[in-house]
Amino acid sequence: MTRKYFGTDGIRGEVGVFPITPDFVLKLGWAAGCVFAREGHSKIIIGKDTRISGYMFESALEAGLSAAGVDVLLTGPMPTPAIAYLTRTFRADAGIVISASHNPYQDNGIKFFSAKGTKLPDEVELAIEAQMDLSMTTVPSGQLGKVRRVEDAAGRYIEYCKGTVNGNLKLKGLRIVLDCANGATYHVAPCVFQELGAEVIEIASSPDGLNINENSGATDVNSLRKVVQAEEADLGIALDGDGDRLIMVAHNSDVVDGDELLYIIAKAMRDQDLLAGGVVGTLMTNFGLEQAFKRESIPFARAKVGDRYVMELLDSKGWDLGGESSGHIVCRQVSSTGDGIVAALQVLKAMADTGSTLAELKKSVVKLPQLMINVAVPKGVDPLGVVAVQSAVAQAEAKLGDTGRVLLRPSGTEPLVRVMVEGEDSVLVKALCASLAEAVEKALSGLVS
């Protein structure tokens, strides 16, 4: 069935524009509460990031859930992966995060976790959407859900993060610049690394409701690179607004992205016989990472773009490690979802175990030149099935041989077709990508004329 509201990562959009409105979120809370309450009296935990609209949507969700007879636990600002963890430890029936992740403050969203701290099954999301079509009601006053605040949520999560690495890991002598993107990790991430012994230099850790992800965090590491260099730090850590993404910066200012971080963690785990099976990437994972895994005899598989699909493939294969180039990394042996702090600790552990710098550990991944062109596509039009486009793709793949890849895919969030080419020859990559984008545009002109 087609979803009306849920995307691959919950419901997200611009604040004040349907469906990211107080009235919709109120009814969403009620609908979710009704679905979860069918198995008996329920308990749901709610967290949020630091954007100003979080206060409004927290209240709306709280009211809707209470009207459905569901008890609510409020954590205040907490990283998305922290809510996944706390949902499990509090034995809650579900967790809800109010966040638009790496988006600017004008956006917000609602995403759910199951009692296991994983994304909701499709049938539960569809049941919530079906409930949204009904008129909202309120349980009798004596059955209204009660609400309380979890005062020690931050402390619980800090101890959990520290517990995901060997108790012998000490970061004493390590000088780290930490970019919290003025987001949900601002009050927990510094504590994690400091309590393990590192000297932490904080940037973008003073949220005001409007500056989340602004020129900072995992989507913009320019400031982090400058501070790492100026402070002569050993490395930099950049998290995004809700704490589920990680990008790092080496002492020499090299950016270490999700692909390279995934390799560092995977090789360290394999060398200690801790890697179950192989590693899951996505269709956008750089071909250079696939080649690096092949050299190390580490199995590798690609999922569709989106952490939801990474998790699905990990589940089906029984593997524990996967992630995206954007820095969303799932260490499933210790976490049920992508967690920037947990992934950073795994990288720091690899550095400590090998005695290597971050710059040295990333050298084994030689990334291939990659270019992507976005082609705007009218809603409901699919140029990828046009014979001329398919022929152009086949010709491009023939020219690349086994030294590169071609990928054309519709965006899951925007009316675009993403045309991506990567290979060893940057000039050829550029020419083929431009040619394929032109083929898509010509196909569109024929379809809409």
Q: pLDDT, tens digit, for every residue of 323-337?
A: 999 999 999 999 999
Q: Which residues are catalytic?
A: 101
Asked whether the predicted pLDDT for residue 239 surpasses 70, the reply is: yes
Nearest to 28 by CA among 105, 125, 141: 125
Chain centroid to Cα 227, Å, comes to 25
Query: How many Å apart are CA 366 and CA 331, to the nearest integer?
Result: 23
Asked whether the predicted pLDDT for residue 41 surpasses 80, the reply is: no
Q: How confident is the model at residue 288 (pLDDT cuts 50, 70, 90)?
A: very high
Asked whether the predicted pLDDT for residue 39 surpasses 90, the reply is: no
Pairing label, strands 94-98, 43-48:
parallel
Question: 3-state DSSP: the chain helix, strand, coil percent, rounded to 5?
Answer: 40, 20, 40
Asked whether the predicted pLDDT for residue 414 surpasses 90, the reply is: no
Q: How confident is the model at residue 1 (pLDDT cuts 50, 70, 90)?
A: low
Across the range 279-295, mean pLDDT stands at 95
Across the range 202-220, mean pLDDT stands at 98
Query: How many Å apart are CA 135 and CA 114, to the nearest integer?
Result: 25
Asked whether the predicted pLDDT for residue 305 surpasses 90, the reply is: no
Name 125's bridge partners: none
Give the number of other Cβ atoms within 10 Å of residue 31's Cβ: 23
Residue 449 has a pLDDT of 64
Across the range 226-255, mean pLDDT stands at 98
Nearest to 405 by CA among 310, 322, 306, 289: 289
Across the range 228-237, mean pLDDT stands at 98
Residue 9 has a pLDDT of 83
